[in-house]
Amino acid sequence: MSNHCETGLDDRCRDADGEIRRKRGDTLVGTLRDEYGPNFAPGVRSDMHLDTLLDRTGAASLSDFLRNQNK
């Protein structure tokens, strides 16, 4: 059985109401580097959780972090 879903931003799945699903907070920075490239969150250990990264940077979401990382 396939786990097919309609894709949205960054190839993430959409929920039943059409909203793009959020990345899980326990996703590792190393995993995100595989997806977003080796320059994602430079100076941060690859075993840090996304929730911790967002707390330390004051970002509300992964999208917010990505938007502010390039400034």
Structural domain count, the chain: 1
Does any domain span residue 3?
Answer: no
Does any domain span residue 41?
Answer: yes
Does any domain span residue 7?
Answer: no
Q: Any residues with CB less than 8 A from the CB of 68 and at least 6 apart, and which?
A: 57, 59
* Domain of 59, in residue numbers: 24-69
In this prediction, residue 33 carries a pLDDT of 96
In this prediction, residue 24 carries a pLDDT of 86
For the record, the structure tokens of 71 come out as 């400034």
Give mean pLDDT in consecutive 10-residue pieces for the chain, a chain of 71 residues.
Answer: 54 62 85 94 96 96 89 67
Whole-angstrom distance, CA of residue 17 vs CA of residue 38? 33
In this prediction, residue 52 carries a pLDDT of 97
Does any domain span residue 62?
Answer: yes
In this prediction, residue 23 carries a pLDDT of 77
- Residue of 64, 71, 32, 37 lying closest to 49 (CA atoms): 32
Measuring CA to CA, how many Å separate 12 from each of 4, 8, 9, 43, 44? Answer: 11, 5, 6, 26, 24
